Chain A
Amino acid sequence: GEDVEQSLFLSVREGDSSVINCTYTDSSSTYLYWYKQEPGAGLQLLTYIFSNMDMKQDQRLTVLLNKKDKHLSLRIADTQTGDSAIYFCAETSGGSYIPTFGRGTSLIVHP
């Protein structure tokens, strides 16, 4: 079955760029998503990319997709303390519209 893997933790300094990585196993992936979860809250959709795209940029967020390596990344430029949260990668594949979620990466931003 599908599998989505993420590293559990990432620590960065305020002002630096953060890169959160995700790998997936299903070569028929169609849409890939990034969600953000702040403490005590639900998940919030940040951005998504269709599998025929290599890159998508939205203000401070850049999503890169390497379909050959089944690797997705989320780059946050000029990381702020307010970016501290858990970031979830998710993908849909095989015609199903129900995403498979990774276990989340906790981003810690320190001064």
Chain B
Amino acid sequence: NAGVTQTPKFQVLKTGQSMTLQCAQDMNHNSMYWYRQDPGMGLRLIYYSASEGTTDKGEVPNGYNVSRLNKREFSLRLESAAPSQTSVYFCASTPGGFSGYTFGSGTRLTVV
């Protein structure tokens, strides 16, 4: 069982470049989430998708877009990367309700 798979694991971008972070889950979960983790800041929610076909903004959505491609996949796009977007990005999923999250192993992004 793979759980939540994120690609790539590492990425270096130049300021202004774009990229898409991929996330896929094989647990038939309804809800999927994107978080960023910065030192001393804990986890901050960027966007989430409560169910296939819906997406909503979280706490820090500026500079990002998302696509819930199907029930399995939820991608995060940076249209014009900025150094402030240097972070570790985590995708997570849940069946729904108050079930705890299953997290991916993260994408470590550096914007120079």
Contact = CB atoms under 8 A, between A and B. Distances in A.
Interface of A: 8, 30-31, 33, 35, 40-45, 48, 88, 92, 97-99, 101-104
A104 B97 contact: no
A25 B100 CA distance: 20
Interface in B26-46: 31, 33, 40-43, 45
Given A30-B98, A97-B97, A98-B48, A42 B42 contact: no
Interface residues of B, number: 23
Contact of B43 (A48, A97, A101): A101
Interface in B58-112: 58, 90, 92, 94, 96-98, 100-106
12 contacts: A35-B100, A42-B103, A42-B106, A43-B90, A44-B103, A48-B100, A88-B42, A97-B97, A97-B98, A101-B43, A102-B42, A104-B42
B105 A43 contact: no
4 closest residue pairs by CB, A with B: A42-B103, A45-B100, A103-B42, A101-B43
A29 to B, nearest CB: 11
A40 B90 CA distance: 11
Contacts of A45: 100-102
B104 to A, nearest CB: 5
Contacts of B92: 42-43
Contacts of A41: 105-106
B69 to A, nearest CB: 21
Contact of B104 (A42, A88, A97, A102): A42
B37 to A, nearest CB: 9
